Structure formats: structure tokens, C-alpha cells
Amino acid sequence: MNAMPPGQPPASDAVHFHRTELGPILSLYGRMVAAGEWRDYGISALREVAVFSVFRRTAEHPIYRIEKRPKMASRQGMWSVVGMDGRILRRGHDLKTVLRVLERKLIRSVD
């Protein structure tokens, strides 16, 4: 029998990012790393949410979280960008539109 660690959902029950969803996220991540704004990331696949966490330094809390919550798809949209303080900066149905809130921060840092 293959036992899962306590509190860990089976892989089939977890929410994951699809390759087509990771493309725009990693593209933005690469540009932010090149601009010196971001340094590290982490990906979590949980029962109700997949999270792409962005870090300025490796040993700190994430400055942004890009979340995919499929249960919210019919309501406010399954995509959201959450700030370090837990506030939702943008939520919507289209990933690229939601990521624009972080694109603006890239443009401001380059100017």
C-alpha cells in the first residue's frame, strides 16, 4: 500500500498548473528576474488551489502569489494575484489579464 503523508492530498485530487498556464507565468518571471526584482519561486499543488509563489530573496515570505482556484471559475474567475499582505491585487477569468497587474510593476521599475 502506498501511504501518503498526513495532510497531503493524493496527486489526483490536487490542482496543478498546465503547461500552457506556466508559459505566461514563467515569461513574466524571467523578465522580472532580468530586471532584478525577483529572485526565486516555488510551486505548490494543493487540494483546492495551485500556487506560484514569487520571492525577492530565497529565505523570506513570498512577495506575490499567483493562484489558480478552479472552484472560483464560474464566479469571479479562477486566477488571482495576491500580495505579501494577503490582499488580492487582481482576480479574473483570463490569466494574461490578471498578470498585467505585475507587468505594470515591471514597467515602473525599468523607468
Sheet holding 88-92, edge to edge: 40-45, 50-55, 64-68, 79-83, 88-92
pTM above 0.75, yes or no: yes
Q: Which of the pair, 9 or 66, is modelled with greater confidence?
A: 66
CB 62 within 8 A of CB 84: yes
Cell numbers of 27, please? 515569461
Residue with grid cell 523578465, as numbered in its chain: 31
The 10s digit of each residue's pLDDT in 20-51 is 999 999 999 999 999 988 999 999 999 999 99
